[in-house]
Each structure stands twice: as C-alpha cells, then as structure tokens.
Structure 1
Amino acid sequence: MADRVLVIGSGGREHALAWKLAQSPRVKQVFVAPGNAGTADNGKISNSAVLVSNHTIVIQFCKDHNIGLVLVGQEALLAAGIVDDLRAAGVRCFGPSAKAAQLESNTGFAKAFLDRHGIPTARWKAFTNPQEACSTDFPARVVRARGPAARKEVTIAASKEEACRAVQEIMQDRTFGDMVVIEELLQGEELSCLCFTDGVTVASMPPAQAHKRLLDGDQGPNTGGMGAYCPVPQVQQPVQF
C-alpha cells in the first residue's frame, strides 16, 4: 500500500473507499478529488480541487504530491480512459481500462459480450432509430440509454406507450449517446456479486443488494443508487465463482 493515495470521485462509493483506506496504518494521507462533505478534512482524508476531467493535470498532481496509488470510482472517467493515461505515465492505478470499462459504460457492448460468451441475460435489441425501437415486441420492457450515465437513464415501462415515450426522450436530446437498448423485463430479486481481479486471480466479495428507485416501496424513477446493504438474507450460502 502507498503512503499517499488519491481517490477520484464524489459519491458515497468514494467516501467509503477513502474511509477504509484511512484505517490502514500503511496509508498516511488520502486525497479525494473532487470529494464531498464527508471527505472534507476528516483525519487523514482531505478533498482536492484538482480538475479530474483533465488527465494531464491529474498526472501532474500525482507526481507533485508523491501519490503512490490512484483509485478511480467515477464511471465516466473510467470510460474516458483515465486509467490508461495514468498507467502510461507510470502512476499506479486501480481500475479498469477504457476497453474493459465498456462492460459498465456501454449497455449494447455489455449485452453483446454476454451473448457472445453464453452468459444468461434478458432478451434485448439495440436501436439507433426511435421508430424501430418503439416497435419492439417484448411483453414487458426495460429501456436503457447507452453511455457512461446509462445506469441512471433506465425506464421500467409498464406499457408499450410508456416505453416509446422513454425512447423518444432519450434519443431526442442524445445526452446519453446515440443508441437505446430495449430489454425484456425480468421479475425478481436483484443482487450484485462483485469481484476483484488482476486478470488472473479472482477474489469475490459477498453479495449485496442496492436500492435504485428514488422513493420508498420500490417506487419512483431509477437513480444511480439510493443505498445498499450487505449481507443479504436472500443468499443463504456463499456464492462461488
């Protein structure tokens, strides 16, 4: 572990990472950029105003402050290749390359990857034409935008008309890319099973369950996440990978 660590992001995920890193006796200082109120001047943890969207500035910050390790939590930056640029500059960094980050940032890429490798997933189709997207015949539909913010731009449509409205909204402003993915809706409990890997070894984390809907009772629009808990009572036995 490095003496000085930089965590990039501003959400609860980065707060949790910084909090845990600061507990290590091997870590003397944790910078969080841009950070949030919970990471501002909190013991070993402090926020940094470094412009994280400019990879050259981040690299220089790491060199100026003798940063030994960078952890990137912000999805859009992973998709933009910040890990590739940091590694190319000789800065140790934990996070996927831009190519690997497509599994999270590009819904169409991820679904095609699952199909190609025989991994079960809901039926789906990708569209660049809103009229064609509105004609899909799945009995229940999940409308997803493609792009780094796609997890937030998800509509679980109760009818074909609602799905079509979501398609039009996504494809008119193009904020989330130029493609929409329509999936068959699968009913049931949703769990997250996360793993750490260096490309050879896989270390699994215990399953967790996130709450994505904005309101109580699983109501309201989807968000990037309203919170999560672990362990989950739905899983009685350890999950093996």
Structure 2
Amino acid sequence: MSETVLLLGSGSREHTLAWKLVQSHKVNKIYVAPGNGGIHTLGSKVQTVDIKNVDKVVEWCLQNKPQLVVVGPEDPLERGVVDKLSEKGIRCFGPNRAAAQIESNKSFAKDFMKVHDIPTARYQNFKDANEAKNFIKSANFKALVVKASGLAAGKGVIVAANVEEACNAVDSILVNKSFGTAGDVVVVEELLEGDEVSVLALTDGTHFKTLLPSQDHKRAYEN
C-alpha cells in the first residue's frame, strides 16, 4: 500500500524525517508544511505546501486525505493539532495536547516527575521574581538553572555562572517578559554537572520502543 504523508515543520528535524520517509516503499508522496529549501533536494516524492496554522492543517487534510500526519515541532502539538485531526479520524504521529505538556510546559514536567518518583534535579516553580531570587540566594544547592516554563524556541533555558547571573535571568523572564507568556512561570533548578545524554522513546500508549542515545552540545562553537 502506497501512502500519502503530511509532515509538519520547517527545521532540520523535519528534513531528517522527510529523508527517512522517502526511503520507505510504503510511502508514495510526502507533503511538508511549510518545509524548507533543502527539502526539495530529496526528490520527486516530496512537495512543500504553504499551511502554517492548526485550523488550516485540518482543512487541508480533509481535502487531501493523507493516510498519516507526522508532527515535528512542539508548537502545533501544544496548540492541539493531534487532538483536532484525531477528532476527524486522521491518523497522527505525535502526542495529543495533554501529553505534549511534558515538552511544552517545564513546570508541569518537573511536577510530573516529582509525583511519579522519576529522578530529576531539585527545583522550585515561581511566578514572583522576588521569591525566585530569594530561593536562588538561599538554596542549599547550586540553584543556577533558570527556565521559562513555556515554549521559547529552544532559547528559554539560562545556565548561570553565579547567583547574580541567575537573578538577572529571573528578572529578564518574569519582569521584562523576554519570552512573553512562555515566561509567566519560571523553573529554578539545581545545576547538575557532567555529560548530558538524551534517550527518546516512541509509544502508542501501551507499547514503547527506545531509540539510540544521543548527545547535544549546546555550548559548543557559537553557543
């Protein structure tokens, strides 16, 4: 069976997903919305389409009837694209809005880990800048990681070198609103030093499969 797939996103992650989908004999056509210039190099199976908001995605799917929608970025997941497509009977690869909070809401994710005894760095969530700064100054651990709780295009985490820098980060996020509403809540977290490894798992809600571990060097080169 040859399937038509709609892939949402425009970054290198979506380019990689499209590259892999092209290799499948089960996939006949891949539409990427909105895509990027490099995706055109993947061959005739791939075509970009200019749809960017959730309602337009649903409308396009009802008209073009893809057999699968693959969601790359976090933003449409947070906006409930999987929920809306699933209501129309359209299959999706990606979590619904409630499950996506693990990625889109850092304070939710930290509280979830605490409730379920999943090891995580010590932390506190704050809406008040003065309370957050007092915590940074008085904590009995290095409370030097300051995070905007919401989605901030990968820029919402500040690993401070000292207490003053951490307090400045709190003011930037909570007072000056440098990340807009994504910074309505900040997570002040313990600084853990050592190698960072990411291990991703895919699940259908019952079964799961882990992928190979990978490493992200956030401070390399241009930081």
Query: Is TM-score (shorter-chain normalized) higher than 0.5?
Result: yes
Q: Does 1:116 align with 2:115?
A: yes
- Residue 202 of structure 1 is aligned with which of 208, 212, 217? 208
Paired residue type of 1:46: Q
Counterpart of 2:46?
45
Paired residue type of 1:39: I
Q: CA deviation at 1:41?
A: 6.0
Paired residue type of 2:16: A
Task: Indicate if the aligned counterparts of 1:2 and 1:67 stay in contact, CA closer than 8 A.
Answer: no
1:135 is paired with a residue whose SS is helix
- Structure 2: unaligned runs, 5 residues or longer: none
Structure 1 residues 111 and 130 mapped into 2: Cα distance closer, same or farther (>3 Å)?
Answer: same
Task: Indicate if the aligned counterparts of 1:134 and 1:164 stay in contact, CA closer than 8 A.
Answer: yes
Q: What stretches of structure 1 move > 3 A for 4+ residues in a row?
A: none
Task: Indicate if the aligned counterparts of 2:22 and 2:42 stay in contact, CA closer than 8 A.
Answer: no
- Report 1:83-102 matches (<5 A): 83-102=82-101
Paired residue type of 1:10: S
Q: Deviations over 1:173-228 (max 9, x none)?
A: 25123100000100011101111111111111111112223x42xx73xxxxxxxx
Task: Indicate if the aligned counterparts of 1:142 and 1:184 stay in contact, CA closer than 8 A.
Answer: yes
Counterpart of 2:26?
26
- Residue 184 of structure 1 is aligned with which of 147, 171, 190? 190
CA distance in 2, matches of 1:42, 1:192: 27
Counterpart of 1:106?
105
Q: CA deviation at 1:62?
A: 1.3
Q: Does 1:145 align with 2:148?
A: yes
Q: CA deviation at 1:3?
A: 1.4
Counterpart of 1:162?
165
Alpha-carbon RMSD across the aligned residues, in angstroms, is: 1.6
TM-score by length of 1: 0.85
- Report 1:223-234 matches (<5 A): none
CA distance in 1, matches of 2:169, 2:148: 9
Task: Indicate if the aligned counterparts of 1:59 and 1:91 stay in contact, CA closer than 8 A.
Answer: no
Structure with greater contact order relative to length (CA < 8 Å, sep ≥ 6): 2
Q: CA deviation at 1:64?
A: 2.0
CA distance in 1, matches of 2:82, 2:148: 24
CA distance in 1, matches of 2:95, 2:106: 16
Counterpart of 2:79?
80
Counterpart of 2:217?
211
CA distance in 2, matches of 1:189, 1:124: 20
Q: Does 1:11 align with 2:11?
A: yes
TM-score by length of 2: 0.91
Q: Identity over aligned residues, as a percent?
A: 47
Paired residue type of 1:201: H
Paired residue type of 1:160: V
Counterpart of 2:63?
64
Q: CA deviation at 1:151?
A: 4.1
CA distance in 2, matches of 1:60, 1:128: 38
Q: CA deviation at 1:57?
A: 1.7
Counterpart of 2:127?
128
Structure 1 residues 150 and 60 mapped into 2: Cα distance closer, same or farther (>3 Å)?
Answer: closer
Q: CA deviation at 1:152?
A: 2.2
2:166 is paired with a residue whose SS is helix
CA distance in 2, matches of 1:80, 1:180: 21
Q: Deviations over 1:61-117 (max 9, x none)?
A: 112222110011110111111100010011111100111000011111000000101
Structure 1 residues 29 and 150 mapped into 2: Cα distance closer, same or farther (>3 Å)?
Answer: closer
2:112 is paired with a residue whose SS is helix
1:40 is paired with a residue whose SS is helix
Task: Indicate if the aligned counterparts of 2:107 and 2:125 stay in contact, CA closer than 8 A.
Answer: yes
